[in-house]
Structure 1
Amino acid sequence: MLNRLKDMQHERSENIICPPFCFVTGDGKPFYSWVFNGNKVLETCFFSLISINEKNNCVLLELLVPCFKKFHLSQKGLYRSNSCVLVDISLFCGISEVELPVFDYFILEHIEKYPVFCWFSTSSCSLELWRNGTRNMNTATVVLHHQDEQDSPISINIQTKKSLHTLCVKKGESRAITVNDVNSIMKNDSIHKVRALLELQLNLIQREKINFRI
C-alpha cells in the first residue's frame, strides 16, 4: 500500500492532484472523515494524497466532497476542499482507487418559473407586449393564440439576446416556440383589429458557484 501511495505522489504536480481513492479498514468498510464548510458538515470517504511521512508511517490527505449525493448534477464527480486529515496507514488494510473526475467547484442552477398571460388586439402601430426586467439568463416558451372571428393573421416578434424570431398565426391557430434569453416581445402592424392571446412560460435561471475550498 505504501508503494502505491508513493506512485500517487509522483503523479501529483502544482495543477494536478493525485488520483482519488478510499482507505479500507480492517472490517472491510471505507474510512470516513468530515469536511467543515461554514455551518455545514459533510461526510466523505474520498481522499487525495498530499504528502507521505514514512518515518511516522502516516499520510496527509485532502478530503474530496462527493456532493453529487446531495445535489442533482449533470456532471458527477468529486470536489476539492481545504480540509485535510493526517492518518496512520497502519490502521488500514487496503486502498481502493475510484474513477471519478475531480473539480475545484461546481455551478448550481436555480430555476424560477413565471407564467405570463397577455390578451391584446392589433393596431396600426407596433407595440411592446412584454420585456424582460432582469439580467438573469432564461428560457421561454412563447405561445400565440388567434382569438378572433376575423380571418386575418396576426404575428409577433420575439427578440432574444442573439436573434429575432417571428411567430404568425391564422384564424383558429395556435403556435409555439421555445427560445433562450428572450429580451422582449412586440406585436406587428395589422390592417384589421384582431384579438389574440400571448402565453409565456418564463424560466429564470440563477447560477450559484459552490466552492468547498473557502
Structure 2
Amino acid sequence: MKSPVDANVIAQIFTEARTYNKWSDEDIDDGTIRALYDLVKVGPTSANCSPGRFCFVKSPAAKQKLAPALSRANLEKTLQAPLTVIVAHDEAFYEKLPQLFPHADAKSWFTSSPATAHETAFRNGSLQGAYLILAARALGLDTGPMSGFDNKLVDEAFFAGTTIRSNFLVNVGVGNMSGTFPRLPRLAFEEAATIV
C-alpha cells in the first residue's frame, strides 16, 4: 500500500473544498487549461473508452453564446467565472476505440447495441467530469459544478452536427468565499454504505 497523501492535499481536494458561486477576475491561461485536461485524461474509464468531451468556454463571445441556455440562478455566476467547462460525452466514442483499446475489437461491443453505447458514454463521461473537478482542485483552482441549464440549447450552440451531448457545467477559477453557503450535512457511513 502506498502512503496516504499529505493531509493538506486531502483538505484541498476534499474536506475543505467548496462549491463556489462568486469569482475573482483572475484569468486562467490556456496552459493551465491544457494541464487540467492532461490530468483528467489519465483517470480510468471502462475499456479506456474516454467518451468525455470538454468545451472550455472562456471568451466573452463564447460566454454570451452560452448565456441563453442558463437558468436565471446560474446566469450571473457563470458570466463572472473566468472559465466554464461544458462537460459532455460523445455518443459515438467507440469510433476511437481502435486507437484507445487496440488489443481487442472493442468497437463492436458498442456498435451492436446503441443502448449499451449510450449508457457507457454517459456513465464514463460523468466519471471524467468528476475527475475534472478533482483535477482543478489539485491545480489550486476552485469549482462550481451545476446543472440548471438547457442541454438542448447548449448542444445546438456548441455541438451542432456532432454526436457530442452535454451533461453538466463546471465554473472554474479562483473562488470568492463570500458566495459560498454553509456546508450542508452529509450522510453518515451507516446511512449510505455497508461492508459485506
Q: Which has the higher helix share?
A: 2
Higher relative contact order (CA 8 A, sep 6+): 2
> Per the shorter chain, which TM-score range?
under 0.3
Larger radius of gyration: 1
